[in-house]
């Protein structure tokens, strides 16, 4: 086994993690749902994400009353019910998971959100792992006109997605769908617990490079 890596078992139903295989998951009580995966044992640096953004700066607690909020803290999708569910719009820096049965309209809804956000002046990057650019264009034509603030990318490799996001620095990035994303350093298939977890905790290439030099850990 590689240094700084260990084998763990994940429940495919609820994500419960165990150091050994079990027939029944203690979390969701499902049977025969555990799969073996290799994960990194290297602890993340004590600096955390805030120290990455401010290298060399010691983390200090902040009093709640000293935190200021502005009226434009959230980005409105202009879809009333969606904005209501989101608590008044999308919070910058947040991660929102849109779930639903196949064919229920998730991709169409997200493309409508892209259109509205782009019209509000936000730069939007729509990353598709399931449809080609032509398929997205056909669906977009049924929705309406789009301005130049929306850019499309067909890609499933996390390294490539990360590099494009670092270079373009969009205000909003939408991944459709997260289950198609994969990291080459993780042995499991796209859609597995480890792959999805790494995809949703994607880190900056610079921070990832430091981790690779020290332990060749999995993608973030």
Which pLDDT belongs to residue 201? 77
Contact 7, 187 (CB under 8 A): no
For residue 13, being part of any structural domain is answered with: no
CATH number at residue 112: 3.40.50.300
Mean pLDDT, residues 37-44 taken together? 63
Q: Would you place residue 43 in the very low, low, confident or very high pLDDT band (cuts 50, 70, 90)?
A: low
For residue 86, being part of any structural domain is answered with: yes
- Within the chain, where are the H helices? 48-53, 80-85, 106-119, 133-143, 158-168, 193-200, 205-215
67-81, 87-101, 157-171, 183-197: least confidently modelled range: 183-197
For residue 6, being part of any structural domain is answered with: no
For residue 56, being part of any structural domain is answered with: no
Q: What is the tally of structural domains in the chain? A: 1
Range of the domain at 123: 74-181
| Residue 182, phi then psi, degrees to nearest 5 | -145, 155
For residue 99, being part of any structural domain is answered with: yes
Q: Would you place residue 4 in the very low, low, confident or very high pLDDT band (cuts 50, 70, 90)?
A: low
Distance CA 131, CA 107 (A): 10
Which pLDDT belongs to residue 54? 59
Which pLDDT belongs to residue 57? 76
For residue 17, being part of any structural domain is answered with: no
Dihedral of CA atoms 153, 155, 158, 162 in degrees, nearest 10, equals -20
Tens of pLDDT, residues 153-201 = 999 999 999 999 999 999 999 999 888 998 887 777 788 777 887 788 7
For residue 4, being part of any structural domain is answered with: no
């Amino acid at each position: 086994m590689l240094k700084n890596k260990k084998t763990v078992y994940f429940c495919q139903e609820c994500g419960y993690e165990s150091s050994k295989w079990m027939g029944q998951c203690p979390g969701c009580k499902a049977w025969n749902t555990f799969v073996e995966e290799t994960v990194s044992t290297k602890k993340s640096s004590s600096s955390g994400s805030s120290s990455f953004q401010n290298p060399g700066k010691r983390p200090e607690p902040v009093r709640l009353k000293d935190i200021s909020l502005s009226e434009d803290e959230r980005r409105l999708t202009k879809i009333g019910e969606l904005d209501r569910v989101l608590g008044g719009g999308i919070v910058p820096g947040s991660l929102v998971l849109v779930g639903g049965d196949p064919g229920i309209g998730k991709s169409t809804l997200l493309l409508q959100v892209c259109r509205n956000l782009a019209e509000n002046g936000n730069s939007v990057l729509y990353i598709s792992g399931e449809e080609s650019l032509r398929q997205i264009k056909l669906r977009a034509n049924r929705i309406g006109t789009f301005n130049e603030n929306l850019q499309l990318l067909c890609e499933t490799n996390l390294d490539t997605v990360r590099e494009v996001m670092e270079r373009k620095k969009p205000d909003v990035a939408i991944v459709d769908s997260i289950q198609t994303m994969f990291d080459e350093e993780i042995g499991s298939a796209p859609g597995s617990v480890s792959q999805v977890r790494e995809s949703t905790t994607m880190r900056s290439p610079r921070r990832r490079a430091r981790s690779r030099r020290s332990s060749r850990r999995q993608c973030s």
